[in-house]
Amino acid sequence: MKDRVDYTLYLCTDRELMSCDTVEQSVREAVEGGATVVQLREKDVSSLEFYDLAVRVKEITDKYRVPLIINDRADIALAADCSGVHLGQSDLPCKVARKILGDRLIGVSVSTVEEAVRAQQDGADYLGVGAMYPTSTKTDTEFVTKEVLADIRAAVDIPIVIIGGINQSTLSNFKGMGIDGIAVISAIVSKPDIRAAACEIKRLWTE
C-alpha cells in the first residue's frame, strides 16, 4: 500500500476553520473534489470523541479509497484501523510509533535537514515539511525557506509533502522541486464550496 499512496493533495481537517457543519461533510466534499490523503486533526476533544469521529470519517475515506491519517495519536489510528499516523517533533518518537503501528503509514513533521534525515532513518514513510508561509493554524512554528526545502529533498528519498500557507497563489512557487504533494487546510475547508476549492487547487498543482 505504501508505494501506491498518492500524496498529491493532502487535506488536513480543522473544525475551527471549516465552512460546513461537520468534519465528515468537509472530508466528503474535499475527497469528492480530489483530495488524495486525509489527515484528521483534533486537539480539543476527548479520546472517545476522537475515536468515534475517526470511525465515521474512515467510512467516507474508505468509500473513496483515500488513506486516513490520524494526527499525533497512534492509539486512535490503531483503534480505528486507520492507514497511519502523523507525528510532530514533540510527539511519540517515530521508532516507538513503528513498534505500535507495524507497517502502517507514519509521517513526521520536519523543518530542518537534520530532522528529515533522522525521520527517514527512524522509519518514517513520508515527511511533512513546513511551515512554508505564515498560517493561522500554527502560530508557533518555524518557517522553512525554499533553499532548506531543496536541501531536505536532496537529503532524503522518501515522499515530501509541504505545509503552511499553501494555497492557490503560493503553490506554484514549489513546482519542479521534486515535492510529492501539498498539504492544505484553510484554502479548502474554509471555502464556501469545499469540493470546488479542492478541485481547483489540485488542478493548479498538477497541470
Question: What is the set of active-site residues?
Answer: 41, 109, 138
Q: Are the C-beta atoms of 189 and 18 separated by less than 8 Å? A: yes
* Helix, strand or coil, per DSSP, at residue 54: helix
Q: Which amino acid is at 18?
A: M
Q: Which three cell numbers stand for residue 194?
A: 469545499
Q: Which three cell numbers stand for residue 82?
A: 486507520
* Helix, strand or coil, per DSSP, at residue 45: coil
Q: How far is CA 196 from CA 79, 158, 166, 168, in A?
A: 32, 30, 16, 12
Calpha distance 20→5 (Å, rounded) = 27
Q: How far is CA 71 from CA 68, 75, 83, 93, 157, in A?
A: 10, 11, 11, 13, 23
Calpha distance 46→203 (Å, rounded) = 37
The separation between CA 115 and the C-alpha centre of its own chain, rounded to angstroms, equals 17
